[in-house]
Amino acid sequence: MAERLRLMTVHAHPDDESSKGAATMARYRAEGVEVLVATCTGGERGSVLNPKMDRPEVWRDIAEIRRKEMDRAREILDVRQAWLGFVDSGLPEGDPLPPLPEGCFGLKDVDEAAEPLVALIREFRPHVIVTYDETGGYPHPDHIMTHKISVVAFDAAGDPERYPEAGTPWQPLKLYYQRWAHGRMVAQHEAILAAGMESPYTESMERFAKRPNNDHLITTRVVCGEYFEIRDDALRAHATQVDPDGFWFRIPMDIQRQTWPTEDYQLVRSLVDSQLPEDDLFAGVRETVEAGVGSSTQ
């Protein structure tokens, strides 16, 4: 039997997997790809962003509640999920910024923090890994650290001289950064206005226009519009983090599919040949796996 394709996504907190690339994962699961979400922290210092859940008992049990939310989202997406066991750093606010709390993920030594991820890669043996870029997608210390350990682990997992106690070496074949397309918000905003509706983007468009447009970095657009409802259901499962009546869910689904039916990525490392631009995270990998060329470095 042919080897099954395997995808790993590496995220900072429970809920990140549902807001970043969830429809892509749902599509690949429907195609029979094995998918594993690696969650770096428990989200213990996250805010309660849903006013309906902002109650004292939620704050007391936030770590356990977020674990249960992650379990539900995992079921909806039909993926596997593993905790790397680090403690949420929180998002520092103020001027000057306060120091990060002792022992948190953002203060860990990068090489030490990469070891649990190396061990997970060697156990799961993914062909493709998706993570954040060097900015973390936004400047949360846990997102930035997630990027750092993912880059280290991608290279180290296949090297038998690194982390010798972390299992049999396995070299993933492709590394991607998840990208939020600048053009996506613009296209959806204009389509909503053209349909005679009020756009939830109106207040943020001026601020958004000042952000750098990095769409030229996108190499890979995965068509997954038919899985947007699964994405939204998974996101709603993180009830402390997302208001079901909030911004995330105000874009009409037909406009989403018509204007931007893809989730977008930047290919940053590849050990296989594929032609850019791509429409498949496994471009080049499928041929390699079908030819029986493995990535183990035993």
- What are the binding residues? 13, 16, 143
Buried b or exposed e, range 62-89, using 16+ CB within 10 angstroms:
bbebbeebbeebbebbebebbbbebbbb
Decide: 30 and 230 in contact? Cβ < 8 Å: no
Q: Return d(Cα 78, Cα 72) in angstroms, integer.
A: 10
Annotated binding site for Zn(2+): 13, 16, 143
Q: Which of 224, 7, 256, 276 is nearest to 121 (CA)?
A: 7
What distance lies between CA 197 and its chain's CA centroid? Answer: 31
Nearest to 92 by CA among 142, 149, 42: 142
Query: Do residues 9 and 26 make contact, with C-beta atoms less than 8 angstroms apart?
Result: no
Q: Alpha helix locations (H) across the chain?
A: 16-19, 22-30, 56-60, 62-77, 110-124, 141-156, 182-194, 205-209, 228-237, 253-259, 285-290
What is the spatial distance between Cα 34 and Cα 8, in angstroms, rounded to a whole number? 9
As a whole number of angstroms, the distance between CA 138 and CA 150 comes to 16
